[in-house]
Amino acid sequence: MKRKIHCVFPQEIIHEPLLYRIGQEFEIVPNVRGAAISDELGEMDLELEGEEAEIARVIAYLEERGVEVREADS
């Protein structure tokens, strides 16, 4: 299954390697579909490919880290 999400990263975690951790710690293939990063804010459109339960785990992980996650426009 593939699911597209839009993420907004707060300033305090912009420099954390969250995408790397997702690829290493979850059975998910993350694909960056678009991004805009500054020193104050990061926004990223991601396509996550994997089992629905694993995608839900990734979203929960991101939200726990303070990332705002919503469904991306197709």
* DSSP label of 26: S
> How much is the pTM?
0.90
Q: How confident is the model at residue 73 (pLDDT cuts 50, 70, 90)?
A: confident
Q: How far apart are CA 71 and CA 52, in angstroms?
A: 14
- Going from the N-terminus, what domains does the chain have, and what CATH number goes with each? 2-71 (3.30.70.260)
What pLDDT, in 10s, does the model give residues 4-57?
A: 999 999 999 988 999 999 999 999 999 999 999 888 889 999 999 999 999 999
Tokens (6 digits) for 43: 């926004």
H runs (alpha helix) in 1-74: 18-25, 52-64
